[in-house]
Copies of this chain bind each other. A is one copy, B any other.
Amino acid sequence: MNELEFIARLTENLPSNRFVLTGPGDDCAVVENGSPGQLLLLKTDAVVEGVHFDQNTVPEAIGHKALARCLSDIAAMAGRPLHALVTIGFPSNCQFEFIQRIYAGLNTLAAKHDVAVVGGETTASPDRIFISIALLGSVAKGKCPLRSGAKAGDAIFVTGQLGGSIAGKHLDFQPRLAEGRWLAENFPISSMIDLSDGLATDLRRILHASRAGAELLAASIPVSRAAKLRFRTGESKKAPLTAALTDGEDFELLFTVPSSQAVQLLDGWKQQFPELPLSCIGRITSQPGLLLRSSKGLQPVTEHGYIHFA
């Protein structure tokens, strides 16, 4: 059983209630709260020593990453983050200063986005540090792009450059919060997701939820310098394009918009976010499946993104 099947089975019969608009299966849960014009977003995520960071990781970067991962999910819902709850487990021999520096990294990022850290649970964790963060956010009603809204003909966009995140970006990336909100406020974004497990895997999540397929243009996929460098130096055996398709932890936004809006969106983006590349990488098709158009013609994308559990 792989992670996706595992989660699918665990989330089959979860209890719900009348306030839940979107439960598990999107970047965040979306719930009604009686607040006019607003919906609440809920997200939780964890990082574990030896899995998401190691003993040599700068502690401030651990805290940054733990919170940034959750913020990236709020960004993918075009939301505004509000409140964070931070649970941290650590061995009894852990230095106070180390934990304090984890918090410092987390607090700096929280303050930057006006997020209040409203709860701070600590617990013993005999072998290794883990940090679990829950985040509450809000989004304007009618302005929250889900994974399920992509339509045949929609243009597919991605922010930033992809692949090779392990070289450093996975620790210091900036969640695309302002970008996500600007997109949903100004364009009819039909679906959006943040890239945590790789373009191929995360795009498949949109396709699965939207019951659609996609055709990507190999030449349009923005490959990061890190992915190219790691291949050139032999640090990674993945060809740069493969890395861009399958490496995890890019934490960029992947979204779709009716193709009639594509040019206007690109123009507006360049004015609004001149330093962050935005690439149109393909289109949604009614035919299921994920295809890649390159100089070799049209081929199915067989590479899978990073899956946490085998």
A residues in contact (CB < 8 Å) with B: 1, 3, 6-7, 9-11, 13-17, 19-20, 23-24, 28-29, 31, 33-36, 38, 40, 42-48, 50-52, 82-83, 85-87, 89, 92, 96, 99-100, 103, 107, 110-111, 114-128, 130, 132, 134, 136, 138, 308-310
Chain B residues lying within 8 Å of A100, measured Cβ to Cβ, are: 9-10
Among B89, B103, B128, contact of A126 (Cβ-Cβ < 8 Å): B128
CB atoms of B31 and A34 under 8 A apart? no
CB atoms of A130 and B127 under 8 A apart? no
CB atoms of B43 and A85 under 8 A apart? yes
Copies of this chain assembled into the complex: 2
Chain B residues lying within 8 Å of A114, measured Cβ to Cβ, are: 15, 17
Closest approach, in angstroms, between the C-beta of A308 and any C-beta of chain B?
6
Task: Specify the chain B residue showing the minimal Cβ separation from A37.
Answer: B34
Chain B residues lying within 8 Å of A121, measured Cβ to Cβ, are: 44-46
Chain B residues lying within 8 Å of A82, measured Cβ to Cβ, are: 17, 19, 31
Closest approach, in angstroms, between the C-beta of A96 and any C-beta of chain B?
6
Chain B residues lying within 8 Å of A50, measured Cβ to Cβ, are: 126
Known: A42-B85, A92-B309. A20 touches B125 (CB 8 A): no
Closest approach, in angstroms, between the C-beta of A23 and any C-beta of chain B?
5
Closest approach, in angstroms, between the C-beta of A10 and any C-beta of chain B?
6
In the A-B complex, the 10 residue pairs with the closest CB atoms: A134-B134, A29-B118, A132-B132, A44-B85, A15-B111, A14-B117, A127-B127, A17-B116, A16-B116, A15-B110
